[in-house]
Amino acid sequence: MKAVKVKLAFPSEKPVNFKIGEVNVRIGKIPTSIEQQWADIIIEQYPGWIELVVKKKAAKLSLTTKEA
Amino acid sequence: MPVSAGNSSIQNLKMNKYLKFLFVAVVAIVAAHLVPLFSDGDAVDMVFAIGPAFASFTNLRNIAEQTSNAPGIRRIGVIAVRDLLPTVIDWPKAVGPTLDVNLETMEITTALPVAVGKTVAVIEPADNSAFADFENQGERYYQSYKHMMGFDIAGLTKAQAVEMRKYINTGCIFFVESHDGEIRVYGSKLAPIVLKSKGSSGKKGGDKRGYSNTGDNDSFVIEPPFYPATLALPGMTSVVDDGE
């Protein structure tokens, strides 16, 4: 199962536990890796509660040389 | 303009015309299916019906053999109705054009509409003290449902007193979890349950020192609906919380 990184979208010192059936999905202010199916459920049912943490792409290196 | 560029723009125009034609065709097909639905009187009644349609009886029997029927309450989740989204008038709705309960399964279909950051608190009642009941109330043809629940908390500490103070005259919705893991919802936003609390010091050794809490409300249109495993519940845990 694909995993995604998420964190709370609002300031909170305590993490929030989402009970989904018999599964605990605990999300705090520090990015946490959870299964995508749980992230999809929480984002759909509780919009504005969590946000996906997307890894920033490294800047492309320039291959041009400085002219003398 | 170069020849290749001209050919490309002609192809784009053709593609745009083709997409517009496709869009119009899809709209026409959808409209052809919807118009009969709204022009037929019965269909309109179904779409805008306020109460549930009459459902004929089917067989009713006891729980299946070789299945445990464990009584009692494991835990109770609670949230104040003030912590729900102000834009939501009522939840869970069992009547009206937009229901929050599937009356064929008695399961809630809309997740708890709680304000961002507000979570369900978990109550761990004293052993064998929690109950959650319901009954038909009223005379023949005046009947509706009454929901009742309660629990004891052992102890009379300052921390408990601080927490219990919050319940006075405060409308709540309770998520009552039985030993088979099912959660049923007691109270609603417009018909919440307000706890009545009684503290007792006990008189002698062996007496119960602590709180006894009960609450009820009536005029519900269904018995307490089930909160399904497919809906998330912020604040609840699937095991006893570690206190974080």
pLDDT along chain B (244 residues), means of 10: 52 64 61 49 48 84 95 96 97 94 96 96 96 96 97 98 98 96 96 97 96 97 97 85 48
Q: Give the 3-state secondary structure percentages of chain A, helix then strand then coil, rounded to 5.
A: 15, 35, 50
pLDDT value of position B55: 87
B163 CA to chain A: closest CA distance, Å?
18
Are B232 and A19 an interchain contact pair (Cβ–Cβ within 8 Å)? yes
Interface of B with A in 156-215 (CB under 8 A): 181
Contacts of B116 in chain A (CB under 8 A): 9-10, 46, 48-49
Q: Looking at the predicted structure, is the pLDDT value of residue A68 above 60?
A: no
* CA A25 to chain CA mean position, Å: 13
CB contact under 8 Å between B236 and A22, yes or no, is no
Q: What percent of chain A clears pLDDT 70, i.e. is strictly above it?
A: 84
The CA distance from B152 to B38, in Å, is 54
Chain B residue with minimum CA distance to A27: B234
pLDDT at B54: 85
> Is the pTM for the entire model greater than 0.90?
no
Say which amino acid occupies A8: L
Taking all residues of chain A, what is their mean pLDDT, rounded to a whole number? Answer: 88
Place of tokens 């290196």: A61
More confident call, B36 vs A17:
A17
Q: Which has more pLDDT, A12 or B24?
A: A12
Adjacency order of strands within the sheet including B226-227: B101-102, B107-108, B226-227, B183-186, B172-178, B73-80, B121-123
- On chain B, the residues whose CB falls within 8 A of the CB of A45 are 111, 231-232
Query: Per-residue pLDDT for A61 more than 70?
Result: no
Q: Is the pLDDT of residue A33 over 50?
A: yes
Residue B172 near residue B194, CB atoms below 8 Å: yes
Q: What does the domain layout of chain A look like in residue ranges?
A: 3-52
Is A52 or B48 the better-scoring residue by pLDDT?
Answer: A52
